[in-house]
Amino acid sequence: MTQTAWAHLPNAKHIDWVLASVKEHPEMWAAAWEAERYAAWDAARYAAFDAAGDAAWDAVWNAAFDTASWYATRTAVWNAATGAILALVAYDDCAYMIESEVGELKIIAKLGDQRAILLLPACIVYNETNALTNASIAV
């Protein structure tokens, strides 16, 4: 397997998951964005841009553009996915939030935690895809 430009980052596994999930479930990303967007997202995104400023972000950005399947809902998907990726590049201590319970992360986001604000759509998609997987295993 080819090493990615962000493989050295602590959250590389989660960045890879976001990119794969966007390709596989763009509709879920669009729905999560539409359900949870609010003004605090912009402030959180700009703070993360300041913190991320390195080559890994550029590499992940380019990889995200290589996904062709999400063009139909590109704005919503793009905002949700880039917010999650940006948080994962900028903040080493936030990957656990993707695997959190959605209601708990919503509370943390409403309290103004920039990582939670940016990762909330990813958390929603993560929980929905796990629920689908668990439902198919149970059948």
Total number of domains in the chain: 1
96 inside domain = yes
Residue pointed to by tokens 């380019």: 62
Question: Taking the alpha carbons of 75, 80, 58, 112 in that order, is the dihedral positive or negative?
Answer: positive
- Locate 2 and state its tokens: 């080819």
The amino acid at 44: A
3 inside domain = no
From first to last of its 139 residues, the chain has per-residue pLDDT tens of 568 888 999 999 999 999 999 999 988 998 888 877 765 777 777 777 777 766 666 666 666 655 545 455 677 888 889 899 999 999 999 999 999 999 999 999 999 999 999 999 999 999 999 887 766 665 4
Its pTM stands at 0.74
Print the domain residue range for 67: 12-138
Helix (H, G, I), strand (E, B) or coil at 99: coil
65 inside domain = yes
